[in-house]
Structure 1
């Protein structure tokens, strides 16, 4: 069985594109295509009744996952939020790269073991972890509430309108939902699982304790503390850094134990056998990535992409050169605050030079 197949989606007009073809974790295969379905209203609104059941039915889930989804009215919405969160952050982090996290070629990428595949696994599991923890703290999920750390006073937290993000429940629920299994000799599954767990750890490492003082004249007679997740953009930046330093792994066979392991190449061609050399914070991959310069089954290439002449045109345009075009753009200028309640601006125009790859 293979590891988690990445959740990947984008909000486009009134639709979300959802990739939920999965092996081991989601109980599906890698042959599923993109699914398109309308954005549904929040299931937490009583007026929508059993709307969450319809949302669960629209997701490609295993039988077990669908049962869990139907029992958790807020889960489908949390999954939808995770999809949006993951794809938006992925596209932001790769906005200046040849591969820009486009949905085009996504399913083919997920069949490989590139650095980009590793990032998709990590950012998707991180988005799931983050969204589930936040869903608990804002009251969307019926079976969880604020963080229940023994050193925090949840009752006071609720009283003051502060609720800790419940990361412990999120991780515990996620492991049950994904149904992690032993991967045996499947090296690709080992890689996928490692990158999935790395995404979860990235969110966990960003958890911090925030405190607020209450009392007369600003004194700290009462101190309320809660657990708070870092903004997901910080997690995305960390994952992009791990992508930039991703580790290529090889496979070795352990005949005595009758199983295969991952190995990290060392200097002078030597191998460090076993997984001990791999850090839990490493993103790992097994195959060299394509250039993403020309249209292929993995991407549409970089022709027509906007670039910055000083920063990345040479790299993004793959030596083909770029076109230069001038255009006039309108922007707000000479803004002034008017008595008492609004800002008044003039409309100015300026010439803007745009560079696009040939």
Structure 2
């Protein structure tokens, strides 16, 4: 998980997962974990929160956005705070989903910058989780009243619309999708890498849309449901991260072809059959990548490797340690135990000590 120093190192050497590090492409915009700005703006502090309210222009400038993105950020005071929230949420979820993997979503500057220059499946996940994070955060910001240009979702297909002002307020996915698509730019035509990045951005947005649920609340005498207020609500972002991790596991390697009908470039299975890779034509909901990933076992430009990484003996030490074996250390820890709820409003715990073994990968 991100500790304070790692999180503060997050928006890295060159901007947001959306503003691809050191190598911005003219046909697409980037944001979040794929951005050019140093991830040194996290975590949110009281100083940053105050700046977001009183001087959001400065926050937008600090994010080192592209010209169009900076203009969109400045036009609504709530956008800057929402962008920050999206970045933080995406980073934390990425590191949670990959906590047991060799690549554990290392976001320190030089590793992230190098990774984003290549079309690995890990890069595909970063694009998807970034666009999903922005879509989710923006829809929630609208319904929470933090934005000037949007409010609750309008849902003409739901019952009892007259009860909306009194009752539920849906997450505004319609506005959020429109904003994110404009923020990340139009579909590129020629460059394969730009098309792949654009495709993976859309996958993240589609997972958000697929997770929308209708929530209803009944009103009536003695619990009857004579009046029902309904609104649309997004799935928790942790569930979104889980689904994107599953898509990462089944991601497809692609190449480039030309659509004969439109003359535009398309992504497709590689022209040459590759052992161990599927020739399946990617769907619009599949994550796709261009380059085979490194092992991430040893320190490289893409990751610090797994030397010294904590592992779990019966769960992932063999995999994470890449066959090098692991060290075992014994330590005494103190934890709360035998906790009881006391009337009225607090929990009382004892402090128990126990010995535990810690396993770390050998060099």
TM-score bucket of the superposed structures, by smaller chain: 0.7 to 0.9
Q: Choose which of 157, 164, 176 in structure 1 pairs with 2:164.
A: 157
8 Å CA contact 1:254–1:261 kept in 2: the answer is yes
Q: Choose which of 198, 207, 212 in structure 2 pairs with 1:193.
A: 198
Which aligned pairs between 1:7-86 and structure 2 lie closer than 5 A?
A: 12=4, 15=8, 17-18=10-11, 19-20=15-16, 21-22=19-20, 23=25, 24-26=27-29, 32=36, 34-37=38-41, 39=44, 41=46, 50-86=54-90
The 1:113–1:332 alpha-carbon spacing in structure 2 relative to 1, beyond 3 Å, is same
Q: Which residue pairs with 1:106 in the alignment?
A: 112
Give the TM-score, by structure 1 length: 0.87
Aligned counterparts of 2:145 and 2:208: Cα–Cα separation in 1: 20
Q: Which has the higher strand share?
A: 1
Q: Which residue pairs with 1:3 in the alignment?
A: none
Q: Choose which of 116, 120, 129 in structure 2 pairs with 1:123.
A: 129
CA-based RMSD: 3.1
Tell me the alpha carbon deviations over residues 204-252 of structure 1, each in whole angstroms, 9 at most, x when there is no partner.
0000111110111101111000000000011100000000011111234
Please say if 1:166 is aligned against 2:172.
Answer: yes
Aligned counterparts of 2:102 and 2:200: Cα–Cα separation in 1: 22
Which aligned pairs between 1:335-354 and structure 2 lie closer than 5 A?
A: 335-354=339-358
Aligned length: 344
The 1:65–1:227 alpha-carbon spacing in structure 2 relative to 1, beyond 3 Å, is same
Q: Secondary structure at the match of 1:337?
A: strand
Gaps of 5+ in 2: none
Give the TM-score, by structure 2 length: 0.85
8 Å CA contact 2:8–2:39 kept in 1: the answer is no
Cα distance, 1:281 vs structure 2: 1.1
Q: Choose which of 218, 224, 233 in structure 2 pairs with 1:213.
A: 218
Aligned counterparts of 1:102 and 1:218: Cα–Cα separation in 2: 51
Q: Say which is worse superposed, 63-72 or 214-223, in terms of deviation.
A: 63-72
The 1:151–1:195 alpha-carbon spacing in structure 2 relative to 1, beyond 3 Å, is same
8 Å CA contact 1:11–1:84 kept in 2: the answer is no
The 1:102–1:347 alpha-carbon spacing in structure 2 relative to 1, beyond 3 Å, is same
Q: Which residue pairs with 1:356 in the alignment?
A: 360
The 1:43–1:301 alpha-carbon spacing in structure 2 relative to 1, beyond 3 Å, is closer
Gaps of 5+ in 1: 1-8
Aligned counterparts of 1:31 and 1:215: Cα–Cα separation in 2: 50
